[in-house]
Amino acid sequence: MLLPLASPLARYRERFRRFVAEGGKFRVAILNACNLDCFFCHNEAMLNPRRLGKAAAPARGVPLLELARLASAYAALGGPQINVTGGEPLAHPQLFEFLAALEEGAARVVLNTNAVLAERLLARPKVEKVSGILASLHTTDEEHFRERLGGQSARAVLDNVVALARHGYAVELNYSLGPYNRDEFPRVLDFALAQRLPLKAIALVRPHEEEGFYGGEWVDPRWLERTLAERGALVVGRRERLGGTRTLYEVEGVKITVKNVARGRLRTTFCEGCRHAEACGEGIYGLRVGVDGLFKPCLLRRERFAPLEVSGDYELQILRHIDAMVGDWEGASFVDGSPA
Number of domains within the chain? 1
Lowest mean pLDDT among 37-51, 121-135, 246-260, 279-293: 37-51
pTM to 2 decimal places: 0.92
CA angle 80, 62, 133 (to 5 degrees): 40
Q: Is 340 inside any structural domain?
A: no
**Res 54 pLDDT > 80:** no
Q: Which residues contact residue 294 at a Cβ distance below 8 angstroms, ignoring those fewer than 6 apart?
A: 45, 305, 306, 307, 308
Alpha-carbon span 136 to 202, nearest angstrom: 11
Alpha-carbon span 245 to 260, nearest angstrom: 6
Q: Is 134 inside any structural domain?
A: yes
Specify the pLDDT at position 42: 83
Specify the pLDDT at position 5: 52
Domain CATH code at residue 183: 3.20.20.70
Q: Nearest CA to 9 among 224, 318, 328, 288?
A: 318
Q: Are 84 and 110 contacting, i.e. CB atoms less than 8 angstroms apart? A: yes
Neighbours of 63 (CB within 10 A): 12
Alpha-carbon span 183 to 177, nearest angstrom: 10
Alpha-carbon span 116 to 135, nearest angstrom: 10
Alpha-carbon span 226 to 120, nearest angstrom: 38
Q: Is 294 inside any structural domain?
A: yes
Alpha-carbon span 90 to 113, nearest angstrom: 7
Specify the pLDDT at position 55: 45
Q: Is 293 inside any structural domain?
A: yes
To the nearest whole percent, how much of the chain has pLDDT over 90?
66
Question: Helices 8-21 and 314-326 sit at what angle, rounded to 10 degrees?
Answer: 70
pLDDT digits (tens, 9 = 90+) for 100-120: 999 878 799 999 999 999 999
Work out whether the CA dihedral 198, 203, 206, 211 comes out positive or negative. positive
Specify the pLDDT at position 212: 57
Lowest mean pLDDT among 7-16, 124-133, 191-200: 7-16
Res. 3 pLDDT band, cuts 50 70 90: very low
The pair phi, psi for residue 151, each rounded to 5°, is: -105, -175
Give 233's DSSP letter.
Answer: P
Q: Nearest CA to 32 among 71, 82, 89, 84?
A: 89
Q: Which residues contact residue 265 at a Cβ distance below 8 angstroms, ignoring those fewer than 6 apart?
A: 243, 244, 245, 280, 281, 282, 283, 334, 335, 336
Res. 221 pLDDT band, cuts 50 70 90: confident
Alpha-carbon span 280 to 204, nearest angstrom: 11
Alpha-carbon span 213 to 20, nearest angstrom: 30
Q: Is 22 inside any structural domain?
A: yes
Res. 1 pLDDT band, cuts 50 70 90: very low
Q: Which residues pair with 172 in a beta bridge?
A: 134
Q: Nearest CA to 122 among 171, 166, 170, 174?
A: 166
C-alpha 160: how far from its chain's center? 20
Lowest mean pLDDT among 4-8, 101-105, 132-136, 254-258: 4-8
pLDDT digits (tens, 9 = 90+) for 157-216: 999 999 999 999 999 999 998 888 989 999 999 999 999 999 999 887 766 666 655 555
pLDDT digits (tens, 9 = 90+) for 274-321: 888 777 877 889 999 999 999 999 988 889 999 999 988 999 999 999
Q: Are 332 and 214 contacting, i.e. CB atoms less than 8 angstroms apart? A: no
Q: Is 317 inside any structural domain?
A: yes
Specify the pLDDT at position 53: 59
C-alpha 115: how far from its chain's center? 15
**Res 71 pLDDT > 90:** yes
Longest alpha-carbon distance in the chain: 62
Q: Is 1 inside any structural domain?
A: no
Structural domain of residue 286, as residue ranges?
A: 8-335
CA angle 221, 227, 228 (to 5 degrees): 95
**Res 59 pLDDT > 70:** no
List, as one string, the DSSP characters of 133-164. EEEE-----HHHHHHHH--S-HHHHHHHHHHH
pLDDT digits (tens, 9 = 90+) for 14-51: 999 999 999 999 999 999 999 998 888 888 888 777 66
Q: Is 206 inside any structural domain?
A: yes
Q: H-helix or E-strand containing 21?
A: helix 8-21
